[in-house]
Structures are given as structure tokens and as C-alpha cells.
Structure 1
């Protein structure tokens, strides 16, 4: 029942489900959730994320500078090298949301995947290699520093990798595909996905109205 999914058991089920996802699946799922949030929710979540990220600010500062420097990024072109892929993942994670110049450099590197696959074959049967490529293109296809058209092209590249994995019959330990999310436990949806987009929009409208009345009262 809906009520049965609203307690600790339901939430713990979602947490367990999420903890079993790969990094690429987590990124895909979280970006999908953010797309469903209303503006005031996004501002709140942004504050929470900002506070959490601040704790690692100093330890990641040098890496962040390199991640946003096109000159440094231009040296990370050999994506057949696992070390380079790891650096690209860090760069994407720390890339500023409006750093278009750096995004262009990363885009050029990532869109050479066709040539790399044709010339080198890419041993995607290696679980770590597979996960790195899926995560790279999942992150890039959602990153705000890339233009809409760049993200579309990156999404197509991601689909190409996905197709290669399907043809080879490779999985990351879950059944149907390397991008598909496993089903939520059946007792979860009551609290987790029961709120419709219309309900969220209604909540946003009500809050906006309250804020407007508060401003008028002043």
C-alpha cells in the first residue's frame, strides 16, 4: 500500500537500491530527479550541495584549477589511457558550469570516440573501462558547461557505447543494459514517486503566492 511505503523501510529500500547503482547510473538518476524539482527546491538543494562541497574545497582546489584550464585539458587527449580517463572524470566533476572554453576542449576529446573505437577497439569487456566510459559520457551529456547541441552529440556517443556493450552481451551486474536503471522495490513508490509533477507545480505556485503576499505586506 501507499502508506506502507512511506515509513523507514520504504526509505531504506530506496537507499539500498541507490547504493547498488553504478556511478553512471547514479549520475543519470540524480540528474533526472533534478529535472523534476521546482525552482525553490533546486535553490534549497543547491545550498545543501554548496555546504557539502565546501568541506573538500581546499583539498580539491589545485585539481579544480586544472579542470578549468583549457591548456591543461588539451593534454588529456588519449582516452585509451586509463589514467587520462580518470583525469577527465575529475575534470568533468570540477568543471565550472559556465566554462564554455574548457568544455569545448573536453568536447573535442570525447567526440573522437568513433575513431578510437575503430582504430583501437576499446576493450569494453573490462568492467572498469566500461564503467569509466559510461560515466564520462553520462556526466558530459548532463553538464551545463556544454551547449545543447554538444550534449546531444555526447548523448549519441553514449548510446553508441551502450550499443557496443549490448552487442557484446556485457553487463555491469544488472540484467538488461548498462544504462538502464534496475526497478525500484515494489513497496517503494508510495512516498518516493507518488508526488506528481502537477502536485509539485501546485506547491511551487502556492509558495510563490505566499512570497508575493509577504512582499506586498511589507
Structure 2
């Protein structure tokens, strides 16, 4: 079976094969390796400090949520996000973490509360509106919500911003392809070409 969860490998399997960017790296009996060994094989280097502490000055508030509510799902969620800050939201499966993110992004708009972006109250009723306001959502399930597997890399990259490559109702394919190629190169997507189907990529490259 294929897994990205190291803990379950040690619970279930006897032997592990590591792939990186779609290439074979190594096969080892799990009795002979540690979690750190697997991480080193997966990333290609030794990582001594997974999360080094960095001092970052708090910027201005860029996203503010007050009493956000989705009837029957969650209620009265409030927080502030500052520029340069990473804000974590913890909870058990089904507690509403994903639902809050989807509500802010307009997938399932909230039934109450206020969302402010850079000090201005906004009403987000669709993902396209959220994108236009500068928001992005990286979903938990890339296959179900993050990709259209039968479509190629170019189409998946450009889908959310097609208006940028359209003129008078016509899509400027050359501009779309150039931008998609630049994005794929920047993210170091390993593929035969940018016309390869998303479903043919390795899990890590799909995530990119």
C-alpha cells in the first residue's frame, strides 16, 4: 500500500520502499530503519531541526474574522491573521477546521459573522470571489478538491486564473502555457512535459 504517514508504516508493514519525485530511492526492512532514516531517504538530506525557530516581526492585520457561523456546523469563530504570520487551527476530525476554511473561501458561505480583508468588510459567496480578493485554498484531499486528474498540468495550473489569459472571450493559449511552464518550473514539478495528465504524476508532484 502507499502511505505518507510514517507512523502507520511501522504499525502495519514489514518492508518499505521510498520513492522521491516519482523515482525509486531504496527498499528497507522496517526493523532496520528509524523514522529519521525514512525522512532522510524521502527528502534526500539529513534534517536536524524540522521547525527551526525564527523571529518574525508581526505585520498589520490582513484577515479578520468575527463571530463566523455556519448553522449546524460551527459558530462564533473569531481570529486575526497578520502579514507574515502562520496561524494554526487545531481540532479533531469533524470538529469544523476544514469547514471554517471552506466558509472563508466561499465554498460553503457562512450564515453569520464578519470577514475583513485588510480592514475592509467583505461578503465572499464563491471561490472565484475569494481568489479575486487574493485568497487561496489548499484542500486536504488534492484528488477530490485540488485537481482535475484527467486534465493536463497546464490546465490545472491556469484553471483558477483563466481570466488572466483571456481576451474578448478567447483564451490566449501561448500566454497560458508560458505562465504554466514558469509555475511548474518554480515549483520543481517533475513531469515529462506540461501537457502530461495530472493523474499520471506522483503524489508529491500532484501536491505541488
Greater strand percent: which structure? 2
TM-score norm. by structure 2 comes to 0.31
TM-score norm. by structure 1 comes to 0.30
